[in-house]
Structures are given as structure tokens and as C-alpha cells.
Amino acid sequence: MNDWLKTVYSETSSLELNKHYKKWSNRYDQDMQEWGYAYPVQLKKILKENLRIKKNIKILDAGCGTGYVAEALVELKFKNIVGIDFSQAMLEIAKQKKIYSKLICQSLNEKIKLRSNQFELVICTGVLTSGHVGPDSIKELIRVVKPCGYFICSIAESIFKKNGFKKEIENLSELAKMEFVSEQFIALPKNKNSAKSRMYILQKLI
């Protein structure tokens, strides 16, 4: 059986990466479940313990894939969710779940086709990583957050400094402040190729 995790995180071509996700899309949710995907649990913990936000807020799920992580939002009774992902095949799976009010097919490495200051919460889990989306995207994602709104993301420990994520967040200190950093955890405990990760909460200031 192909270990898609190893395949997608070692890919350097965005064109080939899209092809990989197309092939993986029908099995993606099953693999996440079997590998013990930690981001849904971590996200629910943060929303229960670290943020006090209303259930009717407008949320952007950036790099939503099949909607696997957004199912955690639905479990917590959040409903007004927009999804964006560069893989149309993954979005087709997400569409079937009827989680999202709108789905957008676009790379997060480009300027997002959404107006500024419209979401109270943007989540981006399992996306800011090698071969996928780099640190430059953080400022663009925060652009669409309303003032005083929140940006929640996951970043692997191995690339937080090396790939420039730490420096980018520090450079955005006038735009957003760090509110929370989680304890270290393994994103996919039952997959040997998984990385250690942390969850971060940034609050937009202006």
C-alpha cells in the first residue's frame, strides 16, 4: 500500500502534488482515521479551552481538503464555514459532507480571492508544511481575518524555524499577536513518517 503521507511531503512539484491528492482523495479520510489524526482533537481542545467565540461566527477552513478537520467544527455546532483548497478532487469529497457554505478551489500560495476582514476565525491545519504552503501565506490568511479575530494553525516543529515560520510570525507582530502555543504532539501517531507539531493561535490587532 502506498504511504501517501510520505509521498505528498516529499513532493516538490505543485503539479505532481495535485495529482497525488487526486489519487489519494477517496482513501484520505480512512487513512487519517487509521493513523490517529490529531488535529481535529487539538482544534476542539483549543476552541473549548482557549477561545470564547460564538457558534454563528464566519469561519474559513484554509487548506480544507476533504473537510476531515472541519467535521470537528460541526461537532461543536459551528455552521458558517467556507473552505478553500487547491485540490478539486479533495473538494469533491468535502462537498458531499455538506459542511461548507462555499468551497473555493485555489492554492494558498497565491493571493486569496476573498475580501479582507470578513472571518472571525481562520483555521489552517496540516497545510503550512514542506512542499505545500510556506510562511508567506500567513500574512495573506490573516488579511481575511476581522480585527480582533483569530488565526489558528499547525506547524511542524522540524520546520518552524528552518523554513522561516518563526521569523514570519515575529515580523507580523504589529498585525497580529501570539495568543497561545500548544504542547508538542505527534500529528499522526500511528504513522512512522509523521512529524511532531504544535498548534498556534494568533489574534489580529488591526
Q: Convert the pLDDT of each residue in 153-196 to its tens digit.
A: 999 999 999 999 999 999 999 999 999 999 999 999 998 888 89
Question: What is the signed CA dihedral for 50, 53, 59, 62, rounded to 10 degrees?
Answer: -10
The gap between the terminal CA atoms of the chain, to the nearest Å, is 48
Query: Comparing C-alpha atoms, which of 197, 199, 201, 194 is closest to residue 156?
Result: 197
CATH superfamily of 4-204: Vaccinia Virus protein VP39 (3.40.50.150)
Cell numbers at 106, concatenated: 485555489
Domain parsing of the chain, residue ranges? 4-204
- Give 72-102 pLDDT, tens digit per residue: 999 999 999 999 999 999 999 999 999 999 9
Q: What pLDDT does residue 9 have?
A: 65
- Residue 180 CA, chain-centre distance (Å), reads 16
| E-strand stretches of 129-186 | 145-156, 176-181, 185-186
